[in-house]
Amino acid sequence: MVTYFKDIYSGLVSLFIGMEVTFKEFFKPTVTVQYPYETLTMTEKYRGHVELIENDEGKPNCIVCGLCQRACPSACITLAGVKPEGEKKKVLTKYILDFTRCSLCGSCVESCNFNALEFSKEYNLASTRREDFIFDLLQRLEDRNK
């Protein structure tokens, strides 16, 4: 008989604690975003896909050293470059990121010694086709500059 009343008492206590939490949350402002009409601002630490960083001339900082490609455990980065005649540095001609294989580990960004890569703040990536997640980062950089 004593355990019966103890169970009722502990049940009521837990009910009132739960109701207290509910009433506190009920009067707080909502945090729902009406998606197509409102968008979120991403924090500084958000890690989207990799993007190329441009220099003052609007060209990528990448010198085609290949460190990012070698550091990537997923092997999702493909880059190529040519050395123009009379120039000292290579020029980036192709930088492809296969985002379907990317694990967002950040090894490529950390290994780049020339400040050529950063994480984007783009979060709205949705598609049913795999081809939409293979990014030509050099083309994206040129499109951003237009």
Quote the number of domains for the chain: 1
Strand order in the sheet with 91-98: 77-82, 91-98, 134-136
Residue 84 located in a structural domain? yes
Residue 21 located in a structural domain? no
Radius of gyration of the chain (CA): 26
pTM score? 0.74
* CATH number of the CATH domain containing 92: 3.30.70.3270
Residue 15 located in a structural domain? no
Whose tokens are 């009433």? That residue is 23
Q: What is the predicted pLDDT for the residue at 131?
A: 94
Residue 121 has pLDDT above 80, yes or no: yes
pLDDT, one tens digit per residue, over 5-41 is 999 999 999 999 999 999 999 999 888 888 889 888 8
Q: What is the predicted pLDDT for the residue at 41?
A: 83
Domain range for 67 is 50-145
Residue 82 located in a structural domain? yes
